[in-house]
């Protein structure tokens, strides 16, 4: 039914002329069959099934003249991946595809002279705090389409892959927040499992793979791109769009401890918790002020949302910025050591987990709002400069201006996602069709 479909698509996504060419043909039928897909009786049962008319109605209410391409169907899959120590774990993710019919396929070939094919975009989500926020959890609970998956699949005609990440969905482990290897693994393994899914389901994928992600997703996208380029030549990576990610963790730390006010303490505490879970030489009690150690140990269990996390940690709810100073959360001795000693364990691990120590050879756009108050645009500038110094000629830095926060309940960082994705989707569309 058209009535009752809730859909808030990325604003500014243009109506794409998809019948002029969907997918590229330089890699036709060159599809990796992953062996990590876990098949169950529910694997090929859609958890979301929304017709084209419902998507068009939702688009019409937004204005802007966007056109729905097809309806969408979403599927939840489980797959095998590895944690930071190389141990095999189970992860999950959401696959969204245009609802292709035989009639559509015949019409497409008649109009274009070519068989229709799907390019894959793996989109990595930003920071979440509760298990209910994971892509598969939201799809199972609401049976409504994911807004970004709908933009990529329902409007732009991609097959969209969205990993939940370890720690969310069907994965019963601590979430590796801003840890390079496990986030890269879970993304790459999800892509390979999704290709296996598509082959078994008879979906006409063409082998093209794109990567995008915002905030933590921008970091995960960068890590996955590095992993694919260095270790997975079988994956035909076409273009990469990391958006507003914390790519140079060492400098993030240096900047935080030099400031008088922390931007959003739960993000910082979450990172420390993840690194203390991952590394034996990172001890929470040596870093976090004593009264907050129990809080940090329990608040990131997937049951407490961002608001609860913020209120449970040092904050300036009472309007006093001093209440949100770094020394309210971090021990002074730790901050001094971190600032002055590059061999501090956490600082060393931050360097190890900063995915800017490689030379991209595929097209990459680093997008960032110039006035981002949570993750400074300096992060994307540092990554860009590092890649250029290493000789990359395929990387572009796009700084987005004129994005603001309309109220105290909003941030530029969160609002910037709409502006960033509105540039990424048409860029991916051009590349898959072989346009410059």
**pLDDT tens-digit series, residues 107-118:** 999 999 999 999
- Per-residue pLDDT reduced to its tens digit, 364-387: 999 999 999 999 999 999 999 999
Say if residues 283 and 275 touch (Cβ distance below 8 Å): no
pLDDT above 60 (res 261): yes
pLDDT of 66 over the 90 cut: no
User: Which pLDDT score is estimated for 407?
Assistant: 78
Domain boundaries, given as residue ranges, for the chain:
18-247+354-432, 249-352
Between helix 216-231 and helix 180-201 the angle, nearest 10°, is: 70
d(CA 76, CA 168): 13
Q: Does residue 26 register a pLDDT over 50? A: no
Calculate mean pLDDT across residues 119-132: 98
Per-residue pLDDT tens digits for 69-113: 788 999 999 999 999 999 999 999 999 999 998 888 999 999 999
| Residue 3 pLDDT | 36
CATH topology (fold) of 18-247+354-432? Rossmann fold (3.40.50)
CATH code for the structural domain at 249-352: 1.10.260
Residue 368: strand, helix, or coil: strand
What predicted TM-score, i.e. pTM, was given to this entire model? 0.93
Cα(378)–Cα(244) distance, integer angstroms: 10
What gap in Å lies between CA 120 and CA 237, rounded to an integer?
A: 10
pLDDT higher than threshold 80 for residue 409: no
* Alpha-carbon torsion (275, 227, 429, 140), positive or negative: negative
State yes or no: pLDDT of 8 exceeds 70: no
**Residue 147: both structure tokens together:** 């807004």
What is the number of alpha carbons within 13 Å of residue 284 lying toward its C-beta?
20
Mean pLDDT of the chain: 91
| Spatial contact of 248 and 381, defined as CB atoms under 8 Å apart | no
Q: Which two tokens stand for residue 312?
A: 């449970």
What three-state secondary structure class fits 205? strand
Mean pLDDT value across residues 328-336:
97
Taking the C-alpha atoms of residue 83 and residue 182, their distance in angstroms, rounded to an integer, is 5
């Amino acid at each position: 039914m058209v009535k009752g479909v809730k859909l808030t698509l990325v604003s500014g996504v243009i109506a794409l002329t998809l019948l002029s060419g969907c997918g590229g043909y330089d890699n036709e039928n060159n599809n990796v069959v992953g062996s990590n897909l876990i098949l169950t009786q529910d694997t090929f049962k859609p958890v979301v099934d929304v017709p084209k008319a419902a998507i068009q109605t939702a688009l019409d209410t937004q204005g802007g003249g966007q056109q729905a391409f097809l309806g969408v169907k979403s599927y939840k899959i489980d797959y095998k991946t590895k944690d930071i120590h190389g141990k095999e774990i189970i992860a999950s993710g959401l696959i969204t595809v245009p609802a292709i019919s035989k009639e559509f396929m015949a019409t497409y070939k008649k109009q274009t002279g070519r068989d229709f094919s799907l390019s894959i975009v793996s989109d990595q989500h930003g920071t979440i705090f509760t298990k209910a926020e994971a892509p598969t959890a939201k799809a199972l609970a609401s049976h409504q389409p994911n807004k970004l998956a709908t933009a990529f699949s329902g409007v732009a005609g991609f097959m969209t892959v969205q990993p939940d990440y370890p720690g969310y969905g069907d994965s019963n482990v601590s979430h590796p927040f801003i840890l390079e290897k496990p986030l890269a693994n879970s993304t790459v393994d999800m892509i390979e499992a999704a290709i296996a899914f598509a082959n078994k389901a008879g979906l006409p994928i063409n082998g093209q793979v794109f990567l995008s992600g915002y905030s933590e997703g921008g970091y995960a996208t960068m890590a996955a791109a590095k992993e694919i380029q260095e270790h997975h030549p079988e994956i035909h990576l076409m273009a990469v769009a990391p958006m507003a990610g914390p790519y140079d963790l060492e400098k993030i730390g240096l900047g935080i401890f030099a400031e008088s006010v922390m931007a959003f303490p739960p993000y910082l505490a979450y990172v420390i918790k993840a690194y203390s879970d991952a590394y034996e030489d990172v001890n929470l009690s040596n870093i976090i002020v004593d009264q907050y150690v129990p809080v940090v140990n329990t608040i990131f269990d997937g049951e407490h949302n961002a608001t609860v996390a913020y209120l449970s940690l040092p904050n300036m709810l009472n309007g006093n910025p001093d209440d949100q100073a770094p020394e309210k959360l971090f021990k002074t001795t730790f901050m001094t050591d971190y600032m002055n000693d590059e061999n501090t364990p956490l600082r060393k691990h931050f360097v190890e987990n900063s995915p800017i120590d490689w030379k991209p050879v595929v097209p990459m756009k680093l997008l960032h709002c110039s006035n981002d108050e949570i993750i400074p645009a300096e992060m994307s500038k540092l990554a860009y400069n590092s890649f250029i110094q290493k000789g990359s000629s395929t990387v572009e830095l796009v700084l987005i201006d004129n994005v603001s926060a309309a109220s105290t309940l909003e941030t530029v960082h969160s609002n910037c996602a709409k502006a960033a994705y509105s540039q990424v989707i048409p860029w991916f569309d051009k590349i898959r069709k072989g346009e410059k």
